[in-house]
Amino acid sequence: MGEDYKSMWMELGLDLDGHDALLNVLAQAYNDIFLSQKDRPETMSYFDFVMSEVHGLRIRELLEEKKTGRKIIGSYCVFVPEEIALAANATLIGLCSGADFATDEVEKLLPRNTCALIKSSFGFKLGKVCPYLESADMIVGENTCDGKKKSYESFKSLVDNLYIMDLPQVKSEQGRELLKNEYFRFKKAVEELTGVTITADSLKDAIRTVNAKRAAVHRLSLLRRHDPAPISGLDALLANQIFFYDNPARFTQSVNAICEELEKRVQKKDGAFPAKTVRILLSGCPQAVPNWKLPAIVEQSGAVIVGEESCVGERGCRNLTDDSGNSVDEMMEAIIDRYFKIDCAIFTPNGERIDHIKEMSKTYRADGVIHYGLQFCQPYLMEAIPVERALEKESIPCLRIETDYSMEDAGQLTTRVEAFIEQLR
C-alpha cells in the first residue's frame, strides 16, 4: 500500500496480522500473474494502481463518503440492483469471496463440503480481514442456491446488518412477480437506511450511470473478438472484477480509455498474444478477487481467454436497463425486466444460458469452451453436463473443470488444460 493505513484498518476492527498476511499473498500473486505478462495495454496501469490500493485508498474514499452521510451497501450477487442503491444516495460494493481464509473456523459453522465461494465469505468475516465488509452499513444476502440460502442463517449471527433478498427460481410470470416484490421491498429498505426517498430524476441518473459502466465493459468485451486478441483474458477479467469495487464514473472512464488504446492495437494487429493463438471461452461460476488460478493456468499454457460467460463477466453486464421511463414505477419495472434476463444456473429450466454460451462462442470466435465449476456448487456442476452436450452438437469442444480455491490441484489442472489446448490446435 502506498500509505500507512493501519490506523484506519484498526478502527474498522481488522485483524492486522491476518490482514497483512492476506495482502502479502495477494501482492505476490498479482505480481506473478499480472505484472509478469508481456505486451499489456499501457492503460492497464490504472487497474494495477486500483489493486495496489484495493484495501487502502478505496476504503478511505468509502469512509469519507460515510462521513458525509452516504451509506455503503455490500453485496455478494449481481441480482442486487446497483441502480436502486445509487438512486438513494448509497454506494454498492462487491464483497470479498475469492480466496480461502480462516477455513478451520469456517468449518465450525459450515459443512466441509460447502462451496469455496460461500466458505470464503465466512472466512473473510471470521478472520476480520475484509475492510469492505466491515465498512458496510447493510450487507445483502440473496437466496440464489441452497448453500447460500442456508448459510445466511448462520452468517446472520456474525453481522448485525444482514438483509436477505429472495429470488425466483423459475422464469415465469409468478417468478417475475416475486422479483418485483423483492425489488420494491429492497427499495423501501434502502430508503429507510439512507433517509433518502428515490425520485424519478435520481433513479434515471442512477440507471444511466450503471448503464454507462456496463456499456464500457461490453465495449471492452467486443474488442476481444479480434485476432490477435488485443488484451489478455486475465487483464479483461481484472476489469470485470474491479467493476464491483471502484467508483462507477471513474471506472467507466478508465475502461473506455483501455478500449481506445485497444482499438488502435486492433488496427495495427498488435496483440497481447500472437495471431492464431488458441481461443478459449471460460464459462460457469463467478471468479471474485483474487480467484485467478484457472485463467492463469489457461493463459500460461499458451491459449488466450476471449470471453467470460460468468457473473463476473458477460452474464453480469450484457443487458442495459431501459431508461426511457418518466416515473419511479416505470423505471422500477425496467430494472426488474433487466435483471430477470440474467441466466444464472439457479433457474430451472435454463435453456437461455446454453443458448448464450453457444452465441458467445461464435461471437468471440472461440476454439473451445472451458466450463468452470466450483466443487460442491450444485447449480453450475449440474448444468455443466447439458452445456457440454449442447456444445458437442455444435462441434464446439468443451472441457469440464471442477476445482476450488486451493493450489493443490494446480499441476493436475495444468496437465488437463494443456492437453485440451493441444487438442484444439
**Residue 2 has what pLDDT?**
47
Per-residue pLDDT tens over the stretch 32-50: 999 999 989 999 999 999 9
The pTM (predicted TM-score) of the whole model is 0.96
Average confidence score pLDDT of the chain: 97
Residue 292 scores a pLDDT above 80: yes
How much is the average pLDDT of 194-205?
98
Domain with CATH 3.40.50.11890 in the chain: 7-63+71-170
Architecture of domain 7-63+71-170: 3-Layer(aba) Sandwich (3.40)
**Closest by CA position to 155, among listed 118, 113, 127:** 118
C-alpha 48, offset from chain centre:
17
Inform me whether the pLDDT recorded for 173 exceeds 50. yes
- For the chain, what percent of residues have pLDDT higher than 70? 99
Q: CA nearest 62: which of 4, 111, 120, 134?
A: 134
Categorize the per-residue pLDDT at 96 as very low, low, confident or very high, splitting at 50, 70 and 90. confident
User: Is the pLDDT score of 1 beyond 60?
Assistant: no
At 388, list the grid cell.
457440454
> Which tens digit of pLDDT belongs to each residue from 100-150?
999 999 999 999 999 999 999 999 999 999 999 999 999 999 999 999 999
Question: Among residues of the chain, what percentage have pLDDT more than 90?
Answer: 98
The domain over range 204-320+345-424 is classified in CATH as 1.10.10.10: no
Q: What is the pLDDT of residue 3?
A: 67
**Do strands 162-166 and 279-284 pair parallel, antiparallel, or not at all (unpaired)?**
unpaired
Evaluate if residue 340 carries a pLDDT over 80: yes
* Segment 397-409 mean pLDDT: 97
Domain with CATH 3.40.50.11900 in the chain: 204-320+345-424
